[in-house]
Amino acid sequence: MSVLVIIPAAGSGTRFGGDIPKQFQPIAGKPMVQYVVERFLLSGLVERIVVAVSEALLTTVRQAPGDRVQFVAGGETRQQSVMNAFKAAGEDFDVVAVHDAVRPFFRMPTFEALLDAAREFGGALPALPLIDTIHATRDGRLAATVDRTNLVAAQTPQVFRYDVLRDALERAIAEGFDGTDEAGVAARYGYDVRVVAGDPHNIKITRPEDLALAQTHFEEWSSEG
Ligand code: CTP
Ligand code: MG
């Protein structure tokens, strides 16, 4: 099985703030995106990793010939960044995994379960059941309580058969639909996207307190179990 990994890392991190975009904040002494790329490189199945970074940064990253890692310019939205990376990668892959640059604690056993499920069904994502009660609001007041029985919170890596992701992204572009993740886009066009048990430690670094938590718990959360 040949696996392409796409890492969208072209966001501006408005919720995180600060001078350095969150994907370049240090985790285990390296920029977070580098740490994430190196973890994927440990898998022998991963043939290529395409990282989407901001246009400004693209001039400063060097492309090593024959390297498994390639950089491309990202886009205005996450979906556009993923599309740019997908197009640049070529076609010679069985499956594609899309993973946030800002989720340093994904686990290999989960990744492998996702690869298997995607090959069998078309797509797969890790997700967690919701813990909190969810209310809909209107003008600062509670309007209704949402039944959370069938709700899950999506994580990454999200994995698809190559042709499934290509078709889903092409149809989204044709329709002018911009999804917040690829699993949602694939499901929108009728593909079978299976839910695999996510990991509570596979947090997305969104605000500064998430980075503090990640740095504090690094040893424990990065160990493979
Ligand atoms: N991303 C991207 N291109 C964009 C927007 C987001 O590649 N135009 C990437 C981010 O770099 C991140 C991942 O998508 O790795 C998840 O997005 P998110 O956590 O929302 O990051 P940002 O969009 O940078 O943050 P914010 O929404 O707070 O601005
Ligand atoms: Mg965002």
Say how many residues make up the chain. 225
What is the pLDDT of the chain when averaged over all its residues? Answer: 95
Q: Taking a C-beta distance cutoff of 8 angstroms, is the pair 112, 201 a contact?
A: no
Closest residue by CA, ligand 1 atom 13: 100
Q: Which residues line ligand 1 (CB under 6 A)?
A: 8-16, 23, 52, 74-78, 81, 100-102, 204, 206
What is the arithmetic mean of pLDDT over 113-141? 97
Burial environment of residue 223 by CB neighbours within 10 A (0 to 12, 13 to 18, 19 or more): exposed
* Nearest ligand to the C-alpha atom of residue 158: 1
- Percentage, residues of the chain above pLDDT 70: 98
Instruction: For the beta carbon of residue 195, count every other beta carbon within 10 angstroms.
Output: 15
DSSP letters for 31-63: EHHHHHHHHHHT-TTEEEEEEEE-HHHHTTS--
Which among 20, 100, 210 is the best mutation to test ligand 1's pocket, defined by most ligand atoms within 8 Å of the CB? 100
Atom of ligand 1 nearest to the CA of 100: 15
Contacts of 177 (CB under 8 A, 6+ apart): 171, 185, 188
* Nearest ligand to the C-alpha atom of residue 23: 1
Q: How do beta strands 69-73 and 46-53 pair?
A: parallel
**What pLDDT, on the 0 to 100 scale, is given for residue 65?**
67
The pLDDT tens digits for 29-46 are 999 999 999 999 999 999
Q: Taking a C-beta distance cutoff of 8 angstroms, is the pair 46, 36 a contact?
A: no
User: How far is the C-alpha of 73 from the C-alpha of 70, rounded, in Å?
Assistant: 10
Residue 61 pLDDT exceeds 90: no
* Nearest ligand to the C-alpha atom of residue 22: 1
What is the arithmetic mean of pLDDT over 211-223? 94
Residue 83 pLDDT exceeds 70: yes
- Percentage, residues of the chain above pLDDT 90: 93
